[in-house]
């Protein structure tokens, strides 16, 4: 069964033109059905693309393992005085330093891989700070000053959006089921789905996006079950 309503939130490239999500029309169950159809197609496309990426690891490589390998390839130890490949000098919260957004997100992913049960504790201040920056501007800039002002005009790195979405979903599902995290992930994944991810996203980006989209769909379906929503 297909929805007669379109999922309008991915119809334009949200990196080029923001969607403000204000005063959107009520479209009932049709919108929810259209959302599930869109996200399911997006996840299937990402999964097909990821097969060749995960095949290099093992026939049954978990997405987390695959992202871990991609993170290692992206890592540049000692390239930044404030970032460590071993997650030993990352400040507990934003404020003391200027930072490169991608470096912070990679360090948070390392924290997740080493101690997934403590991700919320280790990373919550950074996750909330980056979440606020995204929610206000619908952008994640490449770098920020110590007072969280953008120091770069570049906001086109899709990996930043995908890694933030994956980390937020991990915390939402395992530690703090805060609806603001899921709400932010819906918007982050709208952006990723709209922005030619399969054409321009690298391995790290596609794998993180797959993890976040599958987790998002699971969370939405769990909410539908809890509230007895049937389509």
Domain ranges for the chain: 48-226
- The Cβ of residue 212 has, within 10 Å, a number of other Cβ atoms equal to 27
CA dihedral (58, 174, 187, 70) positive or negative? negative
The two structure tokens encoding residue 23:
């005063």
pLDDT digits (tens, 9 = 90+) for 170-219: 888 887 678 999 999 999 999 999 998 877 778 888 888 988 998 899 99
As a whole number of Å, the end-to-end CA separation of the chain is 10
Q: What is the pLDDT of residue 12?
A: 93
pLDDT digits (tens, 9 = 90+) for 31-49: 999 999 999 999 999 888 8
User: Mean pLDDT throughout 152-169?
Assistant: 94
């Amino acid at each position: 069964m297909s929805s007669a309503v379109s999922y309008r939130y991915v119809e334009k490239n949200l990196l080029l033109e923001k969607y403000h999500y204000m005063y959107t029309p009520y479209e009932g169950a049709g919108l929810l059905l259209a959302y599930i159809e869109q996200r399911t197609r997006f996840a299937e496309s990402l999964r097909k693309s990821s097969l060749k990426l995960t095949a290099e690891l093992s026939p049954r490589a978990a997405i987390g393992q695959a992202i871990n390998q991609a993170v290692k390839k992206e890592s540049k130890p000692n390239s930044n005085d404030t970032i460590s490949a071993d997650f030993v000098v990352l400040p507990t919260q934003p404020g003391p330093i200027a930072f490169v957004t991608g470096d912070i997100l990679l360090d948070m992913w390392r924290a997740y891989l080493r101690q997934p049960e403590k991700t919320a504790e280790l990373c919550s201040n950074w996750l909330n700070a980056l979440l606020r920056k995204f929610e206000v501007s619908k952008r994640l800039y490449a770098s920020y000053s110590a007072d969280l002002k953008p120091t770069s005009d570049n906001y086109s790195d899709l990996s930043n959006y995908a890694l933030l979405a994956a980390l937020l979903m991990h915390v939402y599902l395992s530690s703090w089921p805060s609806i603001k995290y899921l709400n932010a992930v819906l918007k982050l994944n709208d952006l990723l789905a709209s922005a030619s991810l399969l054409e321009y996203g690298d391995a790290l980006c596609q794998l993180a996006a797959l993890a976040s989209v599958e987790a998002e769909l699971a969370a939405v379906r769990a909410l539908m079950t809890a509230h007895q929503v049937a389509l």
